């Protein structure tokens, strides 16, 4: 049962509170019509402490009685009780939740907190692959589909939990035979094929720490990450399929390894069959090694705090941060959130469209669903191949029940048109989710109507690479949803909106999103750089974890995320450090200086705009713009390609020489008023930049 209220107004300086009780009164839904609320992502541009909120969304959708009746968390009263208990006694709560996981030896202490360093379930021993595979293969689930995979060309594979146990064990033995030991780092650079989760699980089986590098990253980015982690082995493929073409991977690995002396072995899956170079002694075909490997490999017990994986993410400096996650706490939180947030049941078919190269793929394609014994749908390619209905075909064919994707994808679906999903039977769906960036209410409503048939609850899940698992989210049987809001904290999570000094802001006001208490899935450090971990996350607002996001909390306690407040751009749900893109630009011989800022983009959330000053003697010409875009793609990968390059004689700077990005952001998004320029050193620079725009 849904209840709608009048559509959002904009701009509104102060957010009006919503009235959740209206839902209970059971009014009829308002006529279906799109809203024109501002994309929430743009709200935080230029933000410091007083972030202005422009979103005033008043609709509310209560869980249907039939959904709630069967849900794991079936009412708001139950949600409140769980949250109260979790906040009052977090150790008792998380200790109880940890029983969802199989421990080889029980922990001694739930939490050992020496700020900002946490140890969860200390003293406990477990194995992650045993949790995701063996414990299911030992039951009737042996013949249940664990992974239903579809390649972009249309090929299919289904692996049962029994198959997965065999394949993971064999590949774990392969890793051992190559000398990979507990604690070693293994770099994984693969397309979305079943060997990818198999490789992850095989690493965890022997206690090796994996570092997945998204297949869209360039050889340079791959090399930096291999070197930072000092990986001894790389697992890759000849290539993968995307948009009907081959994405070559092995040649990138060859180029990366030429400058990565720690790598001793490369294992290559034959996916596309294209001709590649195989270096004798170093490179091995996956199928050759696996053929001779034993399917028995006892899982290695590891400490709860054993490093499970490193995942690189963008920060505010040029150097990517290797976010370190450990085993026990991460598994407890991913397992529990998968169960409660997606209300996962035995018969569900779970389709998360994220690439395993990102944290969403780690937590909700691989670990969370498999730990729960679910059936996971995995798709290799692009959503538009061979036509824009690919996801809808997959949902119809495999009777997908839970669909989890990104707002940027939803906006693309809207653009391609509702006629595509309407051609397919989506009636198997019972729950929809979003992640990666704020969702604008218009896209939320479209998703609900066109994909969810006004019937499926939507869970808008806020979390980060650093948090490991979902943190702010509706629980679908309990929490009434408001389009554009991640709603309430997951039980046991304590977020707050504060000023730069750490003081709470009043309900409805914008501020900085912090997390007050440690949580099991939290990052433990930055690989090789604990100082940076302290500085980046725990020092900006003393004693508290700072997320880097702006947010507001309304008077019902609902969180509205407004996007990044630091120099990080969120393009299509992926965080890119502006510094990294700037460094790439400046590494080009003709570029003297560069500043990269976001501009709101209907499809991608944010687009990348680069302001570039050339070395003297070089002329700005359109060909150079293309060359610089290509240069960034080579240095970082296609995901970072600037959408727009603007040449400028100079960049606006403060007297102390700091580039005034706020002004550049305003110019990039075509805003008229550009605010306070009192600290600007040379006003004529701005005038010139605006001329360039004309
Ligand atoms: C943004 C992805 C609004 C946010 C799991 C966060 C969101 C960053 C949401 C983390 C959401 C993620 N609503 N914003 N539901 N989910 N974000 O590390 O800015 O790739 O800090 O992790 O994405 O991105 P990351």
| Ligand 1 centroid to residue 593 C-alpha, Å | 29
Q: What is the pLDDT of residue 480?
A: 98
Q: Which atom of ligand 1 is nearest to the CA of 465?
A: 18
Q: What is the pLDDT of residue 593?
A: 84
pLDDT in tens, 186-207: 999 999 999 999 999 999 999 9
pLDDT at 361 over 50: yes
**Record: fold of 136-141+156-312:** Rossmann fold (3.40.50)
473-507 tens-digit pLDDT: 999 999 999 999 999 999 999 999 999 899 999 99
Where in the chain are the domains? 136-141+156-312, 568-693
Is the predicted pLDDT of residue 614 greater than 80, yes or no? Answer: yes
Confirm if 375 and 342 have CB atoms less than 8 A apart. no
Residue 280's CB is within 10 A of a number of other CB atoms, namely 6
Q: Is the CB of 575 under 6 A from ligand 1?
A: yes
Q: What is the residue with the minimal CA distance to atom 24 of ligand 1?
A: 464
Q: How much distance in Å is there from the Cα of 550 to the middle of ligand 1?
A: 11
Whether ligand 1 lies within 6 angstroms of the CB of 566 is answered as: no
Which pLDDT value is given to residue 692?
A: 54
Q: Is the pLDDT of residue 249 over 60?
A: yes
How far does residue 437's CA lie from ligand 1's centre (Å)? 5
Rounded distance between C-alpha atoms, residue 37 and residue 364, angstroms: 29
Task: Spell out the alpha helix ranges (H) of 561-682.
Answer: 578-586, 622-635, 661-668
pLDDT value of position 40: 35
pLDDT digits (tens, 9 = 90+) for 579-599: 778 888 988 989 988 899 999
Is the domain covering 568-693 a CATH 3.40.50.720 domain? no
With a cut of 50, say whether residue 8 has pLDDT above it.
no
Neighbours of 603 (CB within 10 A): 13
Residue 509 or residue 267, greater confidence: 267
Residue 436 in contact with ligand 1 by CB distance below 6 A? yes
Token pair of 635, please? Answer: 């240095």
Residue of 333, 462, 467, 487 to mutate, ligand 1, most atoms within 8 A of C-beta: 462
Nearest atom in ligand 1 to 358's CA: 20
- For residue 58, give the 3-state DSSP assignment: coil
Atom 3, ligand 1: residue with shortest CA distance:
438
Residue nearest atom 1 in ligand 1 by C-alpha distance: 437
pLDDT of residue 47: 35
Ligand 1 pocket: which of 354, 365, 463 to mutate (most atoms <8 Å of CB)? 463
Question: Does the CB atom of residue 460 touch ligand 1 within 6 A?
Answer: yes
Residue 54 binned pLDDT confidence (cut-offs 50, 70, 90)? low
Contact 237, 250 (CB under 8 A): yes
List the single range of 236-245, 270-279, 392-401, 682-691 with lowest mean pLDDT. 682-691
Does 31 score more than 80 pLDDT? no
Residues 92-97, mean pLDDT to the nearest whole number: 98
Residue nearest to atom 6 of ligand 1 (CA): 464
Taking only the tens place, the pLDDT of each residue in 254-265 is: 999 999 999 999
CA angle 578, 580, 584 (to 5 degrees): 115
Supply the mean pLDDT for the chain: 89
Q: pTM for this one?
A: 0.86
The predicted model gives 52-66 an average pLDDT of: 81
CA of 6 to the centre of ligand 1 (A): 28
pLDDT at 48 over 50: no
The pLDDT tens digits of the residues spanning 520-559 come to 999 999 999 999 999 999 999 988 999 999 999 999 999 9
Distance (Å) from CA 611 to ligand 1 centroid:
26
pLDDT of residue 240: 98
Tokens describing residue 180: 């990979």
Mean pLDDT value across residues 443-465: 97
Q: What is the DSSP letter of 637?
A: B
- Please give the average per-residue pLDDT across 603-618, as a whole number: 89
Q: Does the pLDDT value for residue 28 go beyond 50?
A: no
- Ligand 1 atom at minimal distance to the Cα of residue 568: 19
Decide whether any atom of ligand 1 lies within 6 Å of the 435 Cβ: yes
CA distance 165 to 485: 39
The answer, yes or no, to whether residue 1 has pLDDT greater than 70, is no
Question: How many whole angstroms from 435 Cα to the centroid of ligand 1?
Answer: 6
CB 83 within 8 A of CB 37: no
Quickly count: other Cβ atoms within 10 Å of residue 140's Cβ.
Answer: 8
Nearest atom within ligand 1 for CA of residue 473: 15
């Amino acid at each position: 049962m849904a209840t709608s209220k009048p559509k959002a107004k904009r701009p509104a300086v102060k957010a009006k509170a919503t009235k959740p009780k209206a839902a209970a009164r059971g009014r009829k839904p308002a006529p279906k019509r799109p809203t024109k609320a501002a994309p929430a992502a743009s709200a935080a541009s230029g933000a410091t402490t007083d972030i202005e909120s422009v979103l005033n969304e008043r609709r509310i959708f209560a869980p249907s009685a039939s959904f709630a009746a069967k849900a794991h968390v079936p009412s708001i009263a139950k949600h409140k009780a769980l949250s109260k208990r979790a906040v009052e006694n977090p150790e008792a709560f998380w200790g109880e939740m940890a029983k969802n996981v199989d421990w080889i030896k029980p922990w001694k202490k739930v939490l050992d907190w020496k700020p900002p360093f946490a140890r969860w379930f200390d003293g406990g021993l477990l194995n992650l692959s045993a949790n995701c595979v063996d414990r299911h293969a030992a039951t009737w689930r042996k013949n249940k589909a664990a992974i239903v995979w579809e390649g972009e060309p249309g090929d299919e594979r289904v692996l049962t939990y029994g198959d997965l146990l065999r394949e993971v064990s064999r590949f774990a033995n392969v890793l051992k035979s190559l000398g990979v030991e507990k604690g070693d780092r293994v770099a994984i650079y693969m397309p979305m094929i079943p060997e990818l989760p198999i490789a992850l699980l095989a690493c965890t089986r022997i206690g090796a720490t994996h570092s997945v590098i998204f297949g869209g990253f360039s050889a340079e980015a791959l090399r930096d990450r291999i070197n930072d982690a000092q990986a001894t082995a790389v697992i890759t493929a000849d290539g993968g399929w995307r948009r009907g073409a081959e994405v070559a991977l092995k040649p990138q690995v060859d180029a990366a390894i030429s400058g990565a002396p720690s790598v001793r072995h490369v294992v290559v899956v034959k996916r596309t069959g294209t001709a590649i170079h195989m270096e004798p002694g170093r490179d091995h075909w996956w199928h050759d090694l696996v053929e001779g490997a034993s399917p028995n490999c006892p899982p290695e017990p590891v400490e709860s705090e054993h490093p499970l994986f490193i995942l690189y993410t963008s920060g505010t400096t040029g150097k990517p941060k290797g976010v370190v996650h450990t085993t026990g706490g991460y598994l407890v939180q991913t397992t529990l959130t998968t169960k409660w947030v997606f209300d996962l049941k035995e018969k569900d078919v779970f389709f998360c469209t994220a690439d395993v190269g990102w944290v969403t793929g780690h937590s909700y394609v691989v670990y969370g669903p498999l730990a729960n014994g679910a059936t996971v749908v995995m798709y290799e390619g692009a959503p538009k191949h061979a036509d824009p209905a690919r996801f809808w075909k997959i949902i119809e064919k495999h009777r997908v029940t839970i669909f989890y994707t990104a707002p940027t994808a939803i906006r693309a679906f809207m653009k391609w048109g509702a006629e595509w999903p309407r051609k397919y039977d989506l009636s198997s769906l019972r729950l929809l989710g979003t992640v990666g960036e704020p969702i604008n209410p218009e896209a939320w409503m479209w998703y609900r109507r066109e994909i969810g048939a006004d019937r499926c609850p939507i869970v808008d899940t806020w979390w980060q690479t650093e948090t490991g698992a979902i943190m702010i989210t509706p629980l679908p049987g309990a929490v009434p949803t408001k389009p554009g809001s991640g709603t309430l904290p997951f039980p046991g999570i304590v977020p707050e909106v504060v000023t730069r000094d750490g003081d709470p802001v009043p309900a409805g006001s914008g501020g900085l999103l912090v997390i007050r208490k440690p949580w099991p899935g939290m990052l433990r450090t930055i690989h090789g750089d604990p100082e940076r971990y302290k500085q980046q996350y725990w020092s900006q607002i003393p004693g508290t974890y700072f997320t880097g996001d702006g947010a507001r909390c309304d008077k019902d306690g609902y969180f509205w995320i407004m996007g990044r407040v630091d120099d990080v751009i969120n393009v299509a749900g992926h965080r890119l450090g502006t510094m990294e893109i700037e460094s790439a630009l400046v590494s080009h011989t003709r570029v003297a200086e560069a500043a990269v800022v976001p501009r709101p983009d209907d499809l991608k959330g944010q687009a990348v705009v680069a302001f570039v000053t050339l070395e003297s003697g070089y002329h700005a010409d359109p060909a150079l713009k293309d060359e610089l875009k290509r240069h960034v793609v080579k240095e970082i990968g296609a995901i970072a390609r600037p959408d727009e390059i603007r040449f400028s004689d100079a960049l606006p700077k403060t007297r102390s020489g700091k580039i005034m990005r706020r002004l550049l952001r305003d110019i990039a998004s075509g805003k008229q008023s550009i605010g306070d320029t009192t600290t600007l050193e040379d006003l004529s620079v701005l005038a010139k930049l605006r001329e360039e725009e004309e």
